[in-house]
Amino acid sequence: MKSQVNVAVIGSGRAGMIHARNFARTVQGGRLVAMVDPVEDAAKAAVEELGIDKYYLDYKDALSDKDIDAVVVVTPTAYHKDIVVDAAAAGKHVQCEKPMAMTEEECLIMMNACGRAGVKLQLAFMRRFDESFRHAKERIDAGEIGDVVCVKSLTHGPSIPKPWMYDITKSNGPLAEVSSHDIDALHWYSGSYMSEVYAIAGNYRCPDAEADYPDFYDNVIMNCRFRNGAQGMVDGAQGVLYGYDSRVEILGTKGIIHVGKNQNYSVLTCTPDGINTPFVKSWQNLFIDAYRGEDQAFVDCIQNDTVPVVTGRDGLEAVKVVNAGNKSIIEKKPVVLEDK
């Protein structure tokens, strides 16, 4: 077993820095050795905060570094396929942020590249590592609510999308950027992948996108059927402003489980002016421990030579649903997913 896994994080944005801080400070058996960012000021700021001295502007230079054992890919989705394929060819283990890629074909190329190279490929669906989400899965597997009948997952994000996200051909839309985690949660809790989806969407909060990107949507509802016969629903929204909202409901034949919280603290203030409780503002603090668990699991699977907790197949199935959902929105009809 390798005593220490040296990691480079490719991308120093919000999520990239969460992963980087984990590997720099808290992940046992893992060590952050380099950051990669094409913007030099961003790369320098990252390594200064993290207390390391190595950064690269081109990810290919990092892949040539023999001291690096593994990479975490935290770039815009359109670049994932090339980076993961190149990392596999260089013999580096890979943790890839969601969405895995733009298309099913890209996902398959990534999976095959990692398989041929004999390197690990873990998808970064961090909710699977959240204590509450994991506890719910344990209760389901223990049979406490009987057979799963329906899973509903909701994610509302507070911030207005960045302009590059308006182009669905480049971002795959909110179903990818916001709802990928919900899709994976539905797969995980139902114990099955989706076989059919029907989605409706609209742009309610982003008037700047209307003229140039008429297909952009910031609100989406998607109903689905699973291969095992269960049902599901995804509720996704961007730019809601009120806070970050993430909740799941799992209905079984014998009961129901509710997962998630939206209160930042377990504090309720009552005054003559009304009742108030602080709302969660960002996914960055709500799932901070889940990110830590995810990064630890990545190192553990490398050191112990075990199958990653979240596999490339899980990432592929989520991308498949995103594309089917976007097709359903455009065609205004249900879309059947092929089992490849």
pLDDT at residue 279 tops 80: no
Reported as a pLDDT band with limits 50, 70 and 90, residue 287 is confident
For the segment 110-118, the average pLDDT, to the nearest whole number, is 98
Domain 129-285+318-336 has CATH 3.40.50.1820: no
Ranges of each domain in the chain: 5-127+289-310, 129-285+318-336
C-alpha span between 69 and 87 (Å, rounded): 10
Read off the pLDDT of residues 174-224 as tens digits, 9 standing for 90 and up. 999 999 999 999 999 999 999 999 999 999 999 999 999 999 999 999 999
Nearest CA-CA partner of 243 in 289, 278, 204: 278
CA–CA distance, 106 with 71 (Å, rounded to integer): 19
- Per-residue pLDDT averaged across 268-284, rounded? 73
**Band of pLDDT at residue 3, cut at 50, 70 and 90:** confident
Residue 136: per-residue pLDDT: 96
Span 89-108, average pLDDT: 98
8 Å CB contact between 121 and 308: yes
Residue 243 scores a pLDDT above 80: yes
pLDDT at 267: 63
Mean per-residue pLDDT over the chain, rounded: 94
Residues contacting 175, CB < 8 A, separation 6+: 183, 199, 220, 222, 234, 236, 321, 322, 325, 326
Q: Is the pTM of this model over 0.75?
A: yes
* Chain segment 66-88, per-residue pLDDT in tens: 999 999 999 999 999 999 999 99
CATH fold of 5-127+289-310: Rossmann fold (3.40.50)
Evaluate if residue 27 carries a pLDDT over 90.
yes
Neighbours of 282 (CB within 10 A): 15
* Other CB atoms within 10 Å distance of the CB of residue 123: 27
Q: How confident is the model at residue 261 (pLDDT cuts 50, 70, 90)?
A: confident
The whole-number average pLDDT for the span 128-147 is: 96
Look at residue 118 and tell me whether its pLDDT is greater than 70. yes
